[in-house]
Amino acid sequence: MPPRISVIIPAFNAERFVTDALQSVLAQKYSSAAEIIVVDDGSWDNTRALVADLSARYPQITLILNERKKGPSGARNTGLLKATGDYIAFLDADDLWCPNHLELGVDFLESHNPIDIVFYNSEIQEFETKKRMGDWFSERHFTKTLKTEKLDDGYYLISSNLFNALLDESFMHLQTVIMRRSSIKGILFNENIKRSEDRDFFIRMYADAGAKFAYKNVVTGIYYRHAKSLTADSVQNSLATVLDHIHLFTGYLAYESLNPMTAKKLKGLLLEAHLFASYYYRQLNDPGPALASLFQSLGYGIGVSHLKEFAKIIASAVIFRALRGIRRPT
């Protein structure tokens, strides 16, 4: 009897693609042994009806509502807390798996008991045209920089300090990950951030749960980039990302077991993040938070970049307008 697998799919207004995502799960060799948990995050389109229709035909599909904070992290946590499988796999409602994804991951973990998490590569396509845009691993450097131990059949066990490695680069794509449920040990996704939540999850799996990670450079899924997201690199989005990083990095500094090298790296990242926040606030004509972010960065070091940013804030037309609005004492 094959091991039981819990597949968790958060879905929000996913009527255009959720059926294809589910069909890619049903096409897996181990789909009959899977519990496919679709967590609806408050959709107002036809998502629930489509999933309910498939659920009536395929009993392994279960539709539930997000019981936690709205957003992908809350939806994934709802699924994690309901999961009963020996293994956990994640898929976004707008992505696809290749037919061999679950078989590869589960068979590997079944035969490599000390390893807790395995991940693979994914092909990147533009959703609207299905044009190939590359692959996940080729856009990242980790295969050249990580210390690894070569295993059988093209797999590599990561022996580097994964905390430091993930601070440098987010290289694990959640939809390619398969993990032992027993390794999670109560760890959930951070529901207070909307960006980098998967990287944070893996950092805590490594630092708090002691998980061991392996990977293989073979494509087992398709990650879609949507035309809207390709042009959505706005200042507001960049600022939101930086603020989430500040929240995460500040929390990591409180780790009691943090080694000096990681602490130094985090302080450098926080200095940089606060400077970026200052820059983005300045681009949004918001000089107050820009100055506050600049001053916060001073807690992690000082350099020429601080003086340059301070001068740019002062020189901006917005700050002069703000200064003119201040009533001078008589």
**HSE of 225, CA atoms in CB hemisphere, 13 A:** 17
**What span, in angstroms and rounded, lies between the C-alpha atoms of 276 and 281?**
9
Sequence-distant (6+) residues with CB within 8 A of 231 are none
Q: Quick check: 3 and 34 in contact, CB under 8 A?
A: no
What mean pLDDT comes out for the span 268-293?
A: 89
pLDDT tens digits, one per residue of 31-62: 988 999 999 999 999 999 999 999 999 999 99
Cβ(35)–Cβ(5) below 8 Å: yes
Question: What's at 89, amino acid-wise?
Answer: A
For the chain, which domains are there? 5-230 (3.90.550.10), 235-324 (1.25.40)
Tokens of 228: 């809207």
Query: What whole-number distance in Å separates Cα of residue 158 and Cα of residue 160?
Result: 6
pLDDT at position 299 is 85
| Tokens describing residue 322 | 């703000």
Say if CB 92 and CB 175 are below 8 A apart: yes
Confidence tier at 67 by pLDDT (50, 70, 90): confident
Question: How would residue 312 be classed by pLDDT, with cut points 50, 70 and 90?
Answer: low
Residue 230, pLDDT score? 43
The answer for residues whose C-beta is within 8 angstroms of residue 42's C-beta and 6 or more apart is 12, 65, 66, 70
Between residues 275 and 88, the one the model is more confident about: 88
The vertex-173 CA angle with 172 and 174, nearest 5°, equals 110
Closest CA to 243 of 284, 192, 206: 192
The pLDDT of residue 325 is 53
- How far is it, in rounded angstroms, from Cα 37 to Cα 57? 15
Give the model confidence (pLDDT) of 101-145 as tens digits.
999 999 999 999 999 999 999 999 988 888 899 999 999 999 899
Number of helical (H) and strand (E) elements in the chain, helices listed first? 13, 11
| CA neighbor of 198 nearest in space, from 75, 82, 83 | 75
Confidence band (pLDDT; 50, 70, 90) for 93? Answer: very high
Q: How many CB atoms lie within 10 A of CB 236?
A: 11
Which string of b and e fits 112-123 if b means at least 16 CB within 10 Å? beebbbbbbbbb
Q: Please give the pLDDT value at position 23.
A: 97
Q: In sequence order, which residues have a C-beta less than 8 Å from that of residue 235 and are 6 or more positions away? A: 280, 283, 284
pLDDT at position 181 is 97
76: buried, middle or exposed (CB in 10 Å: 19+, 13-18, 0-12)? Answer: buried
3-state helix, strand, coil in the chain (%, to 5): 50, 20, 35
- How high is the pLDDT of residue 198? 95
> How large is the average pLDDT for residues 229-236?
63
Whether the pLDDT of residue 303 is over 80: the answer is no
Q: In this predicted model, which residue has the larger pLDDT, 53 or 298?
A: 53
Q: How far is 181 from 243, CA to CA, in rounded Å?
A: 31
Mean residue pLDDT of the chain comes to 89
CA 21 to chain centre: 19
pLDDT the model gives residue 297: 87
* DSSP letters spanning 134-163: EETGGG--HHHHS-EEE-GGGEEEE-S-HH
Q: 169 near 142, Cβ under 8 Å?
A: yes
326 or 290, which is more confident: 290
Q: Are strands 213-225 and 155-158 parallel, antiparallel or unpaired?
A: antiparallel
d(CA 77, CA 80): 5
